[in-house]
Amino acid sequence: YVSIKIGVCETTQYFDGSKCTPRFLEFERCFFDDMCLLPMSCQSYLCTCGDLFYFENSTMTCLPKLKSGYFCDKNLHCRSDLGLGCLNNECSCDSSDHTWASQVEDCLLTYGKRFCHNDLNCNMNENLICQAQNCSCPQKSEIGMCDCNRTLGNEQFWNGKQCTIAGVYGRNCTNNFHCQTLTQKTECLFGICNCHDLAQFQILDWEHFFEQKNSKTKNKESIRLKIFVQLTSGFLVKKGKYVKNSIKKLLDT
């Protein structure tokens, strides 16, 4: 009976035909799998963990690449196939035109960015659509731009983070697009969403009267509020000298 011992290389080494030699690290050149540290393999003549993994030297293993919001040290730690890179030690979309859409786990076009071909190209987490018509809410839209929906019965505007429903009659506003200009025919008048017919009032001449009465008028905001209250209460008519005379009386008070 003769015992035969078979020599093998350590797991961190491979046999090169004549001796055991150290396996290669990530992205080092190789010709076959045994040349790479486990569990890496030789792909396109480079040692790699594969598209969705990276090699962690401290643990000597392949770890899954990270999605949006996770801590990172290098770009290769993040899912580049989803448009992510390592920015300020956090995996996030590496293009300012894109934001993370958690619904589909991908970086998609954000508000005001082009070119989209359909709604799926835009970040649905931000309620965006691929615009096919004109809208300025607040940025002037163009066809193929990711934008907020602005249609009868569904009017939205960009609030800086996402598309949100335009205000109904009586809501506070600073711009017309904050109001339901199509559905309720309202405009932003004196900071309130109100019937756009008020824009026909010669009340809009109030700035002219303020200039004339500047020396006497100490509280323009108070007078403007009085005018608005009377308008919305129906005390002033829409046309004619009566409106101007009523404003004069308010300014003289």
pLDDT of 154 > 50? The answer is yes
pLDDT of 134 > 80? The answer is no
pLDDT of 63 > 90? The answer is yes
Task: Please report the pLDDT score of residue 66 as a whole number.
Answer: 97
Is the CB of residue 102 less than 8 Å from the CB of residue 125? yes
Task: Please report the pLDDT score of residue 85 as a whole number.
Answer: 97
Read off the pLDDT of residues 39-60 as tens digits, 9 standing for 90 and up. 999 999 999 998 899 999 888 8
Residue 71 burial (CB < 10 Å; 0-12/13-18/19+)? exposed
DSSP state of 65: P
- For the segment 191-203, the average pLDDT, to the nearest whole number, is 66
Task: Please report the pLDDT score of residue 244 as a whole number.
Answer: 45
Helix (H), strand (E) at residue 72: none
- For the segment 67-74, the average pLDDT, to the nearest whole number, is 95
More confident: 216 or 15: 15
Task: Please report the pLDDT score of residue 137 as a whole number.
Answer: 66
What is the rounded distance in angstroms from the CA atom of residue 195 to the CA atom of residue 186?
4
What residues pair up with 62 in beta bridges, in sequence order?
Answer: 55
Task: Please report the pLDDT score of residue 210 as a whole number.
Answer: 52
Task: Label each residue of 167-234 as H, E or C.
Answer: ECCCCECCCHHHECCCCCCEEEECCEEEEHHHHHCHHHHHHHHHHHCCCCCCCHHHHHHHHHHHHHHC
More confident: 204 or 139: 139
More confident: 224 or 106: 106
Task: Please report the pLDDT score of residue 8 as a whole number.
Answer: 85
pTM of the predicted model, to two decimals?
A: 0.61
What does the longest C-alpha to C-alpha distance in the chain come to? 125
Whole-number average pLDDT of the chain: 81
Say which residues have a Cβ less than 8 Å from residue 101's Cβ, sequence separation at least 6.
107, 108, 123, 124, 125, 126
- For the segment 7-15, the average pLDDT, to the nearest whole number, is 89
